[in-house]
């Protein structure tokens, strides 16, 4: 596609569309707008940034840009991990950060109407104040709900409650030419193609989301957690899957192997997870009422023996729960704390394949001269794998990490898995999506892109 630069007339039109206070150009633009949280996958500066405050302003911006073939990259909080918000073709970054209102919380119908720039933390707090909750709960709470929808973000509860897609009831979006569409609105629909679901996870390449109706659920009175140490990762995964099939309906089933547990405990100083076991499982349940809590404890005590757990630690006291939550967060943050540069994959494989896949990743890392740290969500087979080696030069690391990722994704594909379970494809995973989808699916995706955005102005260079 051939794009135009932002000339004086375009700049004036954009400024008039959003107002001078909501427009930046040239050196008024901060460096943050050139990258997201994973600048390893690339950085690029926009020519202008707009901060619209309404659907109408988003529509006006897109009309101006489509008339002039100027690329537009939507941006939420920039916490993405795939390079999705990087404006690789320059043009306009359309930041939703000033469209951040809660428009209403309907406690009868159990949903929240919100603007896309609302931070996830603010939605969760507003829901909790009404004894409600927003279940997908991805790990980075400073992300926007619009970014969550655009990446189909998921969290540890995804197996039980779905990722973002399963928790959006309706949305408003602006098409590339400025036309506004309303999609969904009720929980049940069998009416034509699922365009709303298609926009969720489209990473800003098909439309700009300007309003969301998000499903809320009643919050349980109490959250009960259990930590089970195991003698092997095989037993740990098998136990997680047995718990999932037990009817007890765990909300999370997170596992980490000894290597990860010991490493993150050493980095964070938090020893909440037992360190002498080959693998550890953290299972959490939402319960309401004393009787339900007691019944759950009894069933877990029986099951833990049957499942071969070496022990079972109950996480019920608030201070223990806080410490365990911090230990869990350290699984994410400890790699970042020790290395200046790392790459990661966030693939998912069928849950029954988890133990073999994790073993494969460790062997592969050793063969490529990379340190590998792994943990994941057993219920949906989602594995976070980090690789690093600060002794290598940037080019040597890029080569080793590239070989690691090639073989990692090839194995994932062979196991029937998916390239990205949570973070999207963005810039960083395009090659692997193309390899895993095959030509027919890519052709369909390109045709969908062309139908929504014939000039290709929306977030060019992403996904494929
Ligand atoms: C420490 C940490 C932990 C994380 N944990 C998780 C996790 O558990 N699960 C998970 O899924 N992700 C996780 N992430 C990744 C990130 O938070 C998510 O991808 C999040 O959804 C990105 O939201 P954002 O507002 O920052 O979007 P951005 O990074 O700004 O943008 C992401 C993509 O969405 C598009 N976009 C943003 N807003 C809109 C809109 N309104 N309309 C159309 N397109 C739009 C952008 O163009 C881009 O392609 C984590 C990140 C960090 C740093």
The residue whose CA is least distant from atom 44 of ligand 1 is 204
Provide the 10 A C-beta neighbour count for residue 125.
12
Q: Are 288 and 258 part of one and the same domain?
A: yes
Instruction: Give the pLDDT confidence score for residue 276 in this predicted structure.
Output: 86
| Residues in contact with ligand 1 (CB, 6 Å cut-off) | 36-37, 73-81, 84-85, 96, 116, 138-140, 143-144, 146-148, 150-151, 153-155, 203-204, 208-209, 332, 422-423, 426, 459
**Mean pLDDT, range 5-13, rounded to an integer:** 98
pLDDT computed for residue 181 by the predictor: 98
User: What band does 221 get if pLDDT is binned at 50, 70 and 90?
Assistant: very high
Structure confidence at residue 1 as a pLDDT band (50, 70, 90): confident
Rounded to a whole number of angstroms, the distance between the first and last alpha carbons of the chain is 14
Q: How many domains does the chain have?
A: 4
Banded pLDDT at 372 (limits 50, 70, 90): very high
Q: How far apart are CA 451 and CA 292, in angstroms?
A: 52
User: What is the average pLDDT across 239-253?
Assistant: 96
Residue 298 belongs to domain spanning: 222-336
Express as a percent the part of the chain with pLDDT over 90: 98
Q: Residue 332 — very low, low, confident or very high, per pLDDT cuts 50/70/90?
A: confident
Q: Which of 75, 78, 99, 264 to mutate to test the pocket of ligand 1 (most atoms within 8 A of CB)?
A: 75
Tens digits of residue pLDDT in 129-163 = 999 999 998 999 999 999 999 999 999 999 999 99
Same domain, 309 and 347: no
Does residue 408 belong to any structural domain of this protein? yes
Q: What tens digit of pLDDT does each residue of 402-427 get?
A: 999 999 999 999 999 999 999 999 99
**End position of a domain, from candidates 69, 97, 125:** 97
Query: For residue 163, which atom of ligand 1 is closest to its CA?
Result: 11
Is 388 domain-assigned?
yes
Q: Any bridge partners for residue 286, and if so which? A: 223
Q: Looking at residues 254-274, what average pLDDT do you find?
A: 95
Tell me whether residue 155 is in a domain: yes
Mutate to test the pocket of ligand 1, among 76, 86, 163, 347 (most ligand atoms within 8 A of CB): 76
Q: Are residues 367 and 344 in the same domain?
A: yes
What is the rounded distance in angstroms from the CA atom of residue 116 to the CA atom of residue 19? Answer: 20
Can you give the CATH number for the domain in which 113 is found? 3.30.465.10
Listed residues 190, 218, 246: the one ending a domain: 218
Q: What is the mean pLDDT of residues 365-385?
A: 97
DSSP track, 260-290 = HHHHHHHHH----S-SSSSEEEEEEEEE-SH
Q: Indicate the average pLDDT of the chain.
A: 96
pLDDT of residue 275: 87
What is the per-residue pLDDT for 394? 95
CA–CA separation, 311 vs 254, rounded Å?
A: 16
Assign residue 34 the CATH number of its domain.
3.30.43.10
**Domain final residue pick, 70, 97, 124:** 97
């Amino acid at each position: 596609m051939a794009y135009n630069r932002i000339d004086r007339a375009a700049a004036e039109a954009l400024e008039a569309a959003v107002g001078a206070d909501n427009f930046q150009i040239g050196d008024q633009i901060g460096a943050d707008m050139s990258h997201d949280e994973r600048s390893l996958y690339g950085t690029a500066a926009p020519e202008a940034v707009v901060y619209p405050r309404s659907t109408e302003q988003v529509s006006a911006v897109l009309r101006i840009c489509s008339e002039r073939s100027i690329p537009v990259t939507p941006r939420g909080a920039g916490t993405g991990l795939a390079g999705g918000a990087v404006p690789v073709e320059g043009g306009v970054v359309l930041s939703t950060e000033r469209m951040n209102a809660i428009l209403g919380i309907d406690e009868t119908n159990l949903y929240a109407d919100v603007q896309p720039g609302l931070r996830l933390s603010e939605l969760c707090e507003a829901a909790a104040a009404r004894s409600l909750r927003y279940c997908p709960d991805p790990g980075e709470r400073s992300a926007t709900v619009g970014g969550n929808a655009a990446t189909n973000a998921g969290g540890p509860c995804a197996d039980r409650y779905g990722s973002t897609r399963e928790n959006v009831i309706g949305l408003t979006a602006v098409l590339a030419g400025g036309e506004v569409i309303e999609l969904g609105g009720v929980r049940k629909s069998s009416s034509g193609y699922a365009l709303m679901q298609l926009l969720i996870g489209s990473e800003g390449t098909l439309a700009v989301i300007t309003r969301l109706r998000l499903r809320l659920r009643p919050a349980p009175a109490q959250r009960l957690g259990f930590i089970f140490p195991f003698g092997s990762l095989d037993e740990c995964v098998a136990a997680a899957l047995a718990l999932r099939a037990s009817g007890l309906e765990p909300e999370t089933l997170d596992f980490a192997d000894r290597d990860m547990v010991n490493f993150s405990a050493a980095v964070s100083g938090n020893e909440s997870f037992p360190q002498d076991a080959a693998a550890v499982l953290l299972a959490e349940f939402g319960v309401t009422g004393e009787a339900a809590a007691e019944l759950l404890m009894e069933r877990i005590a029986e099951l833990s023996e049957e499942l071969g757990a070496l022990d079972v630690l109950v996480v019920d006291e608030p201070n223990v729960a806080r410490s365990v939550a911090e230990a869990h967060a350290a699984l994410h943050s400890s790699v970042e704390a020790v290395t200046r540069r790392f790459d990661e994959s966030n693939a998912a494989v069928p849950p029954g394949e988890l133990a073999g896949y994790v073993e494969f990743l460790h062997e592969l890392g050793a063969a490529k001269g990379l340190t590998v740290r792994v943990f994941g969500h057993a219920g949906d087979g989602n594995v976070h794998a980090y690789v690093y080696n600060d002794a290598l030069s940037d080019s040597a690391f890029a080569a080793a990490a590239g070989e690691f990722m090639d073989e990692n994704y090839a194995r994932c594909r062979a196991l029937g898995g998916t390239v990205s379970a949570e973070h999207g494809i963005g810039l960083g995973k395009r090659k692997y999506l193309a390899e895993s989808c095959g030509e027919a699916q890519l052709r369909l995706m390109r045709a969908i892109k062309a139908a929504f955005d014939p000039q290709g102005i929306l977030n060019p260079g992403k996904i494929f």
